[in-house]
Amino acid sequence: MLRNIRKIIESQIYHIGCKGCKGVYFILFFHLWQIDLAQPLAPQGPFDAIVHKLSDVIVEAEHDSQSQQLLANFESYVSTHPSTVLLDPLPAMTRLLDRFASYRIMSKLHNSLRDWRICSPPYLEVHRASDLPSIQQAVMAQGLSFPLICKTRVAHGSLSHEMSLIFSAGSLADIHPPCVLQSFVNHGAVLHKVFVVGDKHFCVERPSLKNFPSGPCDRKTIFFNSHQVSKPESSSDLTALDEQMPCLPPPSSQAVDALVRELRVQLGMALFGVDVIINIHTHTLTVIDINIFPGYEGVPQFFSSLLNHIESVLDKQTSTTSSLKTTTGGPPAGL
């Protein structure tokens, strides 16, 4: 049962019902049901909290009028019902769907988390197709080093998992803008996925790309799908280390704590994931991607953690409302 509800709650939108008892706020039970975005939302409510995964709608709204209308209806409801808790805010999610925006956030972590030796690899935004010499010059100017990993600008959908490894300046002709070029960091074929649920987070180890010699070489571009490389059950030649190497230390729990706290502030979100690796040479915790509402595979506590977070948020909101009533002698404006 929990497995089915967990699967539903990851992909649908629900109403969370709450009840009070003798003036003390308790979460007694949760009513969950799917909202029909094609219908007016107000008659389907009222909603105490909405957990949504509107990534597809947000991306499709760029070019699809029907998705634009669905999104507009949803935004209209949210704006006229400010007491409804939204996980997560649409502007924050929209920003995270754009790797240009999320990588700018990542690039600032080196300064804000300097004491924890946390960094992000150098990267370059390629906005549009241009002549090869211009891209090569920009790569050098930004201090990127080969090999490079190329990712799509849109960080959602099946195409967002299609990536490539570029090994030389000449092979930059293989990229398809808009995209991000990022220096590849050898990390012993181990990826650490940090799943965030409110003030809790869980770290899960996954397979990842093997080590490659540093510096340009005449190797042809490698095109791959990140799902096929880093899923729990993945088995790929790209993840098999060519040499025996000692195991890298796991990420420092204190450093991961600091990273999650900083990103929660920077993103203004409660449900997201962070991909981190350990540099085999410096053992530096390196952030390579941020994921919008990930699948939470390998996190058995996800559902209970999500409910606990919703309960906590609603409890805080109730406490704030009660405080305002006591101070002003009546309900706050808008409630």
CA distance 101 to 213: 30
Closest to 259 in 3D by CA, of 286, 279, 295, 280? 286
- Residue 161 labelled as part of a binding site: yes
Contact by Cβ (8 Å): 48, 231: no
Q: Are strands 118-119 and 285-292 parallel, antiparallel or unpaired?
A: parallel
- Residue 24 labelled as part of a binding site: no
Closest to 172 in 3D by CA, of 133, 206, 143? 133
- Residue 275 labelled as part of a binding site: yes
Strand partners of residue 98: 154
- Residue 193 labelled as part of a binding site: yes
- Under the banding of pLDDT at 50, 70 and 90, the label for residue 124 is very high
Of 25-34, 50-59, 191-200, 279-288, least confident by mean pLDDT is: 25-34
Can you say how many angstroms the Cα of residue 249 is from the centroid of all Cα atoms in its chain? 24
- Residue 190 labelled as part of a binding site: yes
- Residue 200 labelled as part of a binding site: no
List, in order of start, the domains of the chain with CATH numbers: 1-87 (3.40.50.11370), 95-292 (3.30.470.20)
Instruction: Kindly report whether the peptide bond that precedes residue 46 is cis, defined as omega within 30 degrees of 0.
Output: yes
- Residue 127 labelled as part of a binding site: no
Over residues 284-296, mean pLDDT:
94
- Under the banding of pLDDT at 50, 70 and 90, the label for residue 203 is very high
Secondary structure element (H or E) that encloses residue 140, with its range:
helix 132-141
- Residue 189 labelled as part of a binding site: yes
- Residue 65 labelled as part of a binding site: no
pLDDT digits (tens, 9 = 90+) for 157-170: 888 999 999 999 99
Structure confidence at residue 7 (pLDDT): 43
- Under the banding of pLDDT at 50, 70 and 90, the label for residue 248 is confident
- Residue 15 labelled as part of a binding site: no
Secondary structure element (H or E) that encloses residue 8, with its range:
helix 2-11
- Residue 38 labelled as part of a binding site: no
- Residue 56 labelled as part of a binding site: no
Provide the mean pLDDT of the chain: 86
Helix H segments across 218-301?
226-230, 253-267
Pick the more confident residue, 152 or 10. Answer: 152
The fraction of the chain above a pLDDT of 70, given in percent, is: 86
Pick the more confident residue, 212 or 21. Answer: 212
- Under the banding of pLDDT at 50, 70 and 90, the label for residue 18 is very low
pLDDT at 92 over 70: yes
- Under the banding of pLDDT at 50, 70 and 90, the label for residue 1 is very low
Of 18-22, 31-35, 110-114, 121-125, least confident by mean pLDDT is: 18-22
Closest to 142 in 3D by CA, of 115, 182, 105, 108? 182
- Residue 136 labelled as part of a binding site: no
- Residue 4 labelled as part of a binding site: no
Structure confidence at residue 24 (pLDDT): 36
Structure confidence at residue 231 (pLDDT): 83
Structure confidence at residue 318 (pLDDT): 77
- Residue 210 labelled as part of a binding site: no
CA distances from 284 to 116, 161, 185, 277, 312 (A): 9, 25, 10, 8, 34
Structure confidence at residue 16 (pLDDT): 45
pLDDT at 334 over 80: no
